[in-house]
Structure 1
Amino acid sequence: MRRADALAGHGEQPWWWDAVCYQVDVGSFADGDGDGIGDLAGLTSRLGYLELLGVDAVVLAGAAGLDPAAGPFAELLGVAHDSGMRVMLSLDVDPARSDPASVLWPWLEHGADGFHLAPRPDSADAIGAALAGHPDRVVIGSGPGDWHLSFNLDLAVAGFDADRVRKAITDVLAAPGPRPAWAMASRDTEQSRDDAALTPVRAMALVQLALPGAVCLRHGEELGLPGTQRVRMPWEGDRPPFGFSDADADWSSIPADWVSFTAEAQLEDEASTLSLYRHALETRGTHPAFTGDEVEWFGAPPGCFAFRRAGTTLICALNTSPEPVPLPPGEVVLSSRPVGPGELPPGTAAWLV
């Protein structure tokens, strides 16, 4: 059972408190009707994968052309709810161009569970008024506002440097306002995804998932895919488009060497990035040490840090230095790369209890 469901069932915290929110670029996720463009039918057919991954909410991006009153959205919502997942919308809301109520209400009336909004700084009050009649819906916002969760990319901006990452974490947790929703993938640039490039990606995933608050993943992030704006999800097979679509089209924009990045290939590989995310989300959602809303910092060698979730036994250690360092005391529950006896290798993060 996911932690969001468990907490909701025991009345401790709302489902979104430590939720895993998975943003899907609808047009690039899965093509259900064979026209070469991703759609809601394709997403619905792949919800089993998201349930296996351990997702609490699916956030639909690229929803401008979607109809909340149409059958595909109702079907998606029904299948997701039956699987214990919520469905949210990622929308741009600007009162200078439109009334927020006119944008949000059609989705609210047809059962959407909430929104990830990118409003202008002066639009928070208008959005709050639009949602006043729907107190059970969740809002992830950016910047000032009366949101449930505050989206931030501070970890991504910090890069792979222990001191800068620690400062980013400290600053976010110390800031007043909503509970944080940590995000890593901005996909602004092309970059390789060989083993060396994936080392900091995997380590930072464990740091992100160890922190108090919700997390926002973007589709393909769990596969370690390169940093492009609209990545077509590679599902299976040995050639492009790797199960994304049945359309007979030019798929030359999808690298042929992504065969090792498909969900199918990585599910069968216990050392893959997808397997790391699956194990991390399962541990995060079920292990009793993943509670506590503050972190306590330990002393650590240069280029490293270690923190404990306050009031628990969970320790997250990160080594961004070029040399191995001693592991903190405890049992290693999960590590981004194999660890030796008592040592945390360079470019590695580990969870200990």
Structure 2
Amino acid sequence: MSTADSCPWWRGAVIYQVYPRSFADGNGDGIGDIAGIRSRLSYLSALGIDAIWFSPWYPSPMADAGYDVADHRDIDPVFGTLAEVEALIAEAHARGIRTIVDVVPNHCSDAHPWFQAALAGGPAAPERDLFWFRPGRGPDGGQPPTDWVGEFGGPTWTRTTNPDGTPGDWYLHLFAPEQPDFNWDHPRVRAEFEDILRFWFDRVDGIRIDSAGLLVKDGTLPEIRPDRPHPFHDLDGVHEIYRGWRRVADAYPGDRALIGEVWLPDRQRFAHYLRPDELHAAFNFDFLGCAWDPAALRESIDGTLSAHAPVGAPATWVLSNHDVTRHVTRYGRADTTFSFAAKREGIPTDLEQGTRRARAAALLSLSLPGAAYVYQGEELGLWEVEDIPYELRQDPMWERSGRIDPGRDGCRVPLPWSGEVPPFGFSPDGATTAPWLPQPADWKDRTAAAQAGDARSMLELYRAAIAVRRAEPALGDGGMTWLPAPDGVLAFRRDPGFTCLVNLSTTAVPLPPYTERLLASGPLDDDLLPPDTAVWLRPPAT
């Protein structure tokens, strides 16, 4: 993109999220790995992206798909080796692609050496101070210390058994029981993670911070009540941690980036994470969860930009990731918003409509000011897989919700690369182990090979859009100006010389004056823009 030479890369990059388990399988065991990613770097290079964000690939028992980390400085053997990762990073850099790794600071795996020592050492073990061990309530300590509900639903405390076999203290886990929370009040925890940052900043360009707003807890353990501050969401003390992390990042030459996963409804509180001495950027879940509605999208865009402006941070635009229902499916429903609380299966979905809207949303998100994220498979137009057999589901959300929330497996199904039948080139020819989640037979028309060279395909739309973005001085970081437009149409200008229109109404609308059509998300009707279609134009010189 045009601003790459004049400002830090992370301000306007197109960043592609690789979910390693589901991207490409190099050794035929049905699970994606480093070898598979390396074999597909040419595909990512042709897509035109600026950086890859890798979801966790660390040693882990995989109770939560690798977000239960046992060692942040190594690679799980199911994915490969640290040497292979270093080769991958070097090969990506040689293609001009930066790399971002996921760091999980709120919790670890119950297999982490610190937690194992905390259990083995009994109540007096010094390692217990690194976590949240507390006695239970009631005369025999048989009740958990609080009634907090976990981020996956269900209880947040698990009782331990002392080395002598007697019931022991309880430990806190905001997620699954296999993910004990660190005590960030302890200096050893803070020092450990700053060292982990250095380990990876010695190798990569950026770090994505999982659950960035949850690290600090109120040590008095108050119950959650609407009339007082939340005991573990977005406590002010978290900002001191990130100021320390920023000092680590700033000690490196070049532009190392810290990118937070911050789920906050309050945009001003969200912006606090992006002050000049804290994180560089954060994920825009407000936009991701927004309805396919012109007023709602405009409000989300305006609110996002106005929250980022006072702190000088770039906005990010995200349509999908490894935690949410794929947007081809969301946009094909009557309710096009996303919310974990409302995630259900069996909702009627018009995939043709969802795909048409997803194409328009791609041009919208790639032309807004700031950085854009692409979740693997969205460039292929993949939909949410909602018929995974119960016995094959692996996401802990499924069981912990009492099998009400379908979980996140449906957006994590392995990618289809080529061929007419599963595994669609995900695993090498001759592999006898099926992919870790089943792929729909209908994806035969969504493989990368089937779409390559087809000007009407989602893949070629993304390739063309990212190429235009790279070539246009107006795109990437910068400002925008809304333009007058018919009801139901979003129209904005980016200088110099770029206009985007998105028609979210039910009728075709005339295009404004232009000198060149740069790209459209679907066929135009002469100079009419059909519903659920976006277009990039070169406006007349003024």
Q: Common fold, TM-score beyond 0.5? A: yes
Q: 1:87 aligns with which of 84, 87, 99?
A: 99
Query: Is 2:244 the counterpart of 1:129?
Result: yes
Q: Over residues 178-229 of structure 1, what are the superposed CA-to-partner deviations in whole Å (9 max), with x where a residue is unaligned?
A: 2111101146347367432201101111100011100111100111111323
Deviation at 1:22, TM superposition (A): 0.6
Deviation at 1:167, TM superposition (A): 0.8
Query: Is 2:463 the counterpart of 1:348?
Result: no
SS at match of 1:333: strand
Higher mean C-alpha deviation, range 165-174 or range 143-152:
143-152
Higher mean C-alpha deviation, range 317-326 or range 126-135:
126-135
Query: Is 2:486 the counterpart of 1:301?
Result: yes
Query: Is 2:324 the counterpart of 1:188?
Result: yes
Q: Following the alignment from structure 1 to structure 2, what is the Cα–Cα distance between the partners of residues 189 and 130?
A: 31
Q: How does 1:286-297 map to 2 (within 5 A)?
A: 286-290=471-475, 293-297=478-482
What amino acid maps onto 1:301 in structure 2? P
Q: Give the superposed CA RMSD.
A: 2.1
What amino acid maps onto 2:513 in structure 1? P
| TM-score normalised by the chain length of structure 1 | 0.91
What amino acid maps onto 2:503 in structure 1? N
The aligned residue for residue 212 of structure 1 is 369
Deviation at 1:104, TM superposition (A): 2.3
Task: Decide whether the 8 Å contact of 1:232 with 1:244 is kept in 2.
Answer: yes
SS at match of 2:85: helix
What amino acid maps onto 2:444 in structure 1? V
Deviation at 1:73, TM superposition (A): 0.9
Deviation at 1:293, TM superposition (A): 1.8
Deviating runs (4+, > 4 A) in structure 1? none
Q: What stretches of structure 2 of length at least 5 have no aligned partner?
A: 60-71, 76-80, 107-181, 214-233, 263-269, 330-348, 385-409
Deviation at 1:108, TM superposition (A): 2.2
Q: Following the alignment from structure 2 to structure 1, what is the Cα–Cα distance between the partners of residues 380 and 197?
A: 32
SS at match of 1:158: coil
SS at match of 2:289: helix
Aligned length: 345
Higher strand share: 1
| TM-score normalised by the chain length of structure 2 | 0.60
Q: Following the alignment from structure 1 to structure 2, what is the Cα–Cα distance between the partners of residues 219 and 125?
A: 33
What amino acid maps onto 1:80 in structure 2? A
What amino acid maps onto 1:139 in structure 2? L
Q: Following the alignment from structure 2 to structure 1, what is the Cα–Cα distance between the partners of residues 351 and 528?
A: 24
Deviation at 1:129, TM superposition (A): 1.4
CA 157–48 in structure 1, closer or farther in 2 if over 3 Å, else same: same
Q: How does 1:238-249 map to 2 (within 5 A)?
A: 238-246=420-428, 247-249=431-433
Identity over aligned pairs, percent: 37
Deviation at 1:344, TM superposition (A): 0.6
Q: Following the alignment from structure 1 to structure 2, what is the Cα–Cα distance between the partners of residues 32 and 193?
A: 34
Q: What stretches of structure 1 of length at least 5 have no aligned partner?
A: none
Q: Following the alignment from structure 1 to structure 2, what is the Cα–Cα distance between the partners of residues 72 and 213?
A: 32
Q: 2:411 aligns with which of 220, 229, 233?
A: 229
The aligned residue for residue 20 of structure 1 is 14
What amino acid maps onto 1:195 in structure 2? E
Q: Following the alignment from structure 1 to structure 2, what is the Cα–Cα distance between the partners of residues 113 and 292?
A: 18
Q: 1:167 aligns with which of 299, 323, 346?
A: 299
Query: Is 2:42 the counterpart of 1:42?
Result: no
Query: Is 2:257 the counterpart of 1:138?
Result: yes
Task: Decide whether the 8 Å contact of 1:93 with 1:103 is kept in 2.
Answer: no
What amino acid maps onto 1:106 in structure 2? F
Q: Following the alignment from structure 2 to structure 1, what is the Cα–Cα distance between the partners of residues 425 and 508?
A: 41
SS at match of 1:179: coil
Q: 1:106 aligns with which of 199, 205, 215?
A: 199
Deviation at 1:102, TM superposition (A): 4.3
Q: Following the alignment from structure 1 to structure 2, what is the Cα–Cα distance between the partners of residues 101 and 292?
A: 29
Q: 1:96 aligns with which of 164, 171, 183?
A: 183
Q: Over residues 120-158 of structure 1, what are the superposed CA-to-partner deviations in whole Å (9 max), with x where a residue is unaligned?
A: 234342233135233231111233322222210222222
Task: Decide whether the 8 Å contact of 1:149 with 1:214 is kept in 2.
Answer: no
The aligned residue for residue 134 of structure 2 is none
Q: 1:199 aligns with which of 356, 371, 374?
A: 356
The aligned residue for residue 149 of structure 1 is 281
Deviation at 1:7, TM superposition (A): 4.0
Q: Following the alignment from structure 1 to structure 2, what is the Cα–Cα distance between the partners of residues 295 and 341?
A: 27
Q: How does 1:1-16 map to 2 (within 5 A)?
A: 3=1, 7-8=3-4, 10=5, 12-16=6-10
